[in-house]
Structure 1
């Protein structure tokens, strides 16, 4: 179990998520924020599909990246933020469901680098199918404020 450095991590992470126009664009939500773990939910929409009728792999990568990145952010100090350094994703099955759930978790928390894992599940009629797994390296950033795109 990981211990957060900021007792108000959940509010800080939710505020940060709200600053991402990209997540709003695709209709993603962040219903789960726990120390070292987050979930992003994405309902199926026709404008997110590729030519075979599955949710596009780029969108799958996008929610996996954000879920794992926010899992890392739950453990940082209040004045720090995070940026993705790299990730490797394997698409295991088509993202074919009424809902995608991206689960992010922290594997190793370091002072500068945080290693995370992302899993994306396609949910269809109550059944979850693992459609992608990702490993990610996150960098802790100090002194860089987030931008509020709504101002």
Structure 2
């Protein structure tokens, strides 16, 4: 992946109001791979203390979209066609890490697997959810404008 492409993805991510609200950081980026880390905030937690499912699903969706975009050499825009999340374990911990990897990089449809891990202060990592996401690449109407 070119440095220019990486910069485009980072700038796009930095414009995301949702990721700003989450206090999210890019912790890994490569061709067909994108990793996002968030620290727990009160609105992300259920009364019992674990991360809620909507936080996990949001990270799945965003990490998958950026993984799909990172597999394309040019500026690209995706929309989610299908998102399936299997919640495997309660997401207790202080952080979530979503690791998204492109499985199939098609011309129009791209399939991404995203695994979300909860991490405790002691560094213990638990697979909280796994997902499969299908994305559709859309044509940009204006070549000079990034669609976020």
Does the alignment reach a TM-score above 0.5?
A: yes
How far apart, CA to CA, are the structure 2 residues paired with 1:77 and 1:139? 16
CA apart distance, 1:85? 1.1
Matching of residues 14-29 of structure 1 within 5 Å: 14-29=10-25
Deviation at 1:80, TM superposition (A): 2.1
Where structure 1 has 5 or more consecutive residues not aligned to the other structure, the ranges are none
Aligned partner of 1:79 among 60, 64, 75: 75
What's 2:94 paired with?
98
SS of corresponding position for 1:59:
helix
What's the TM-score once normalised by structure 2's chain length? 0.90
TM-score with structure 1 setting the length: 0.88
- Per-residue CA shift, 1:25-80, capped at 9, x if unaligned? 11111121111111000111222111221111100110111111111100224232
Deviation of 1:147 (Å): 5.2
Aligned length: 144
Deviation at 1:7, TM superposition (A): 6.0
Structure 2 residue ranges without an equivalent (≥5): none
Residue 132 of structure 2: aligned partner: 135
Following TM superposition, the consecutive aligned residue runs of length 4 or more in structure 1 with deviations greater than 3 angstroms are 144-148
